[in-house]
Amino acid sequence: MAFQGALEIHRQIQEGKITAVSVLKQSLQAIAQQDLDIGAFLSVHGETALAEAAAVDAKVSAGETLPLLAGVPIAIKDNINVTGMPTTCASNILTGYISPYNATVIEKIKTAGLPIVGKTNLDEFAMGSSTENSALKVTRNPWNHHCVPGGSSGGSAAAVAGAMVPLSLGSDTGGSVRQPASLCGLVGMKPTYGLVSRYGLVAFGSSLDQISPFAGDVADAAALLQLIAGFDPLDSTTLKTETPDYLTTLEQLPSNLRIGVIQELNGEGMQPEVAENFAQMIELCQKQLGASIQTISMSGIQPAIAAYYIVATAEASSNLARFDGVRYGQRKKTTGDVHAMYRKTRAEGFGPEVTRRIMLGTFCLSSGYYDAYYGKAQRARALLRKQFQEAYGQVDLLICPTSPTTAFKIGEKASDPLSMYLSDIATIPVNLAGIPAISIPSGFDKSGLPMGLQILGPRLSENKIFQVARAIEQVTGYHHLLPPALAQTVAQ
């Protein structure tokens, strides 16, 4: 399985060459062998997954045509609700919670017949860039076990990079799928805001959050996005668009392609190897794809982090008010009244980063500070949207490195929240503007850690982004590469 993509596995299941049950068993075996070291999963659900796989095999035996991706095992970030499974958000405050409902994306995945093998680790409530803020366990980067997998969807990234599942879902609020994809050598696609329903995703920053796929190559990511996209009456922010079909035209390359390089994200302040690699990617687009390249300057990029940490924390402070020890999760006993119970339950249930962000968000929304902070951040966000729109008047797509560095050592940035925040400089503007962007593998630094290229487009330009990403992937051949240690194990 390690060398095959999700679409290939699905094709072989449909043709009866392999069974969904045997694929699932391989996945469960890989988890049993590797996850003790990697720590991608918070819970594994082999029994229900086996029943789902068996149902797919029964359909094949009955001669039915399977829905797209049927039979392909998938891992789900543990902030997305699946009936009967725990949803921990990697937080102590949700200890013991079993979800009574499915997120809309899970309904779609179950209807299509992708066995859900387990729930994956994350930074608590998706707040972080390294998965180190998980209250439950440490997740290691399959490319180097001393390094972080990125975050916040680090478990979902490590599960695919460690060849334990071919596909996974994460959530991307400020880069939480694209950055770990970059650090783990994967494809991660953050869709246009409103393309995928957020119903059943535990809310962090509601105007920024999008459920997003991880995969080993562009076609697999496109297939999974196609499966989960679409209007949902249960999420009024979803767009009334037609169900997309990315796969039919995936191999076509747009003619007269114009690509913009964001000046503010072109090398400065980045790891030298990342800057060099990005220069090579620009050249590749020019020479191999025949694209015209121009530099685009956007003054709204650098201050985007500031705007983000106001908007995201303000929304989080409001969204996380529901964790109060009344309806679910852990309640801390007090002798006092209900307010004393709230304060104690929340203080003991939330970890330091979540508390820090709730405090910051509450401050920014508090009387006397609202205009100076939240109001200003919303204006900065408008400026960014305006500058992106102007940029897309001149070019079709924009490119930049996904992350200023490759994977850093576990513990290296954990004590300095500000330096951790700054590592999201290239991904945050995308969420603030509500536009789509993909991260694809673009090479390796001298210690063998993966690097990523980010491709950004206007709203609902996923088709074009996938086409260009696919064309680049065909040239580089960096998709479906396994970490050396793992490749050795698989070969034996």
Partner 1 sequence: MTITHEAVAHVATLARLDISAEDAARYAEELSKILTLVEQLNTLPLDDPALDAFMDETMATDIPQQAVLTRPDLAFKHYTREALLKNAPEEEEGFFRVPKILEENSN
Active-site amino acid positions = 77, 152, 176
- Contact between 101 and partner 1 per CB under 8 A: yes
Tell me the C-alpha distance between 227 and 66, whole Å: 13
Query: Which alpha helices (H) appear in 42-97, and where do they start and end?
Result: 46-61
Nearer to partner 1, 182 or 192 (CB): 192
Query: Which alpha helices (H) appear in 90-153, and where do they start and end?
Result: 104-112
Q: Pick from 214, 210, 204: which is nearest to 158 by CA?
A: 214
Binding segment for partner 1 among 108-116, 326-334, 437-445, 465-473 (CB under 8 A)? 326-334
- Contact between 206 and partner 1 per CB under 8 A: no
Angle between helices 376-394 and 304-319 (to 10 degrees): 130
By CB under 8 A, what part of segment 396-415 binds partner 1? none
Binding segment for partner 1 among 18-26, 33-41, 162-170, 316-324 (CB under 8 A)? 316-324
- Contact between 61 and partner 1 per CB under 8 A: no
Angle between helices 6-14 and 218-228 (to 10 degrees): 70
- Contact between 477 and partner 1 per CB under 8 A: no
- Contact between 460 and partner 1 per CB under 8 A: yes
Tell me how many degrees the CA angle 166-406-397 measures, rounded to the nearest 5.
Answer: 75
- Contact between 342 and partner 1 per CB under 8 A: yes
Q: Cα torsion at 363, 365, 370, 372 (round to 10°)?
A: 50
- Contact between 98 and partner 1 per CB under 8 A: yes
- Contact between 300 and partner 1 per CB under 8 A: yes
Q: Which of 174, 417, 429, 457 binds partner 1 (CB under 8 A)?
A: 417
- Contact between 344 and partner 1 per CB under 8 A: yes
Q: Which of 65, 96, 243, 492 binds partner 1 (CB under 8 A)?
A: 96
Q: Indicate the SS3 state at residue 386.
A: helix
Tell me the C-alpha distance between 120 and 184, whole Å: 15
- Inter-residue contact 157 to 205 (CB < 8 Å): no
Binding mask 114-153 for partner 1 (x = CB under 8 A): ----------------------------------------
- Contact between 97 and partner 1 per CB under 8 A: yes
Nearer to partner 1, 93 or 160 (CB): 93
What is the size of the binding site for partner 1 (CB under 8 A)? 71
Count of all residues that appear for the chain in the document: 492
Q: Which of 193, 246, 408, 478 binds partner 1 (CB under 8 A)?
A: 193
- Contact between 268 and partner 1 per CB under 8 A: no
Tell me the C-alpha distance between 312 and 358, whole Å: 10
Q: Which of 17, 36, 65, 100 binds partner 1 (CB under 8 A)?
A: 100
- Contact between 260 and partner 1 per CB under 8 A: no
By CB under 8 A, what part of segment 240-259 binds partner 1? 240
Q: Indicate the SS3 state at residue 34.
A: helix
Q: Indicate the SS3 state at residue 471.
A: helix
Binding mask 222-241 for partner 1 (x = CB under 8 A): -----------x--x--xx-
Burial class of 484 by CB neighbour count within 10 A (0 to 12, 13 to 18, 19+): exposed
Tracing tokens 């001149």 back to the chain, one arrives at 394
